Amino acid sequence: MANKVYLALVNGNLPVGTSAHWNDHVYKDDAAHRMKASPQRHAGTKEASLSWTSLHSQGDWSLVAVKIHTGRKHQIRLQFSLRDHAVLGDRKYDSTKPFSQGIALHSWSLTIDHPTQKDSMTFHAPPPDNWRPYLDQVSAQNHPVSDASLPSRVQSILDQ
Complete domains list, the chain, with CATH: 3-158 (3.30.2350.10)
- pTM for the whole thing? 0.86
Q: How far is CA 126 from CA 9, 91, 131, in A?
A: 14, 24, 10
Per-residue pLDDT tens over the stretch 45-60: 999 999 999 999 999 9
How far apart (Å, rounded) are the C-alpha atoms in residues 42 and 27? 10
Per-residue pLDDT tens over the stretch 91-113: 999 999 999 989 999 999 899 99
Alpha-carbon dihedral sign for residues 17, 57, 61, 148:
negative
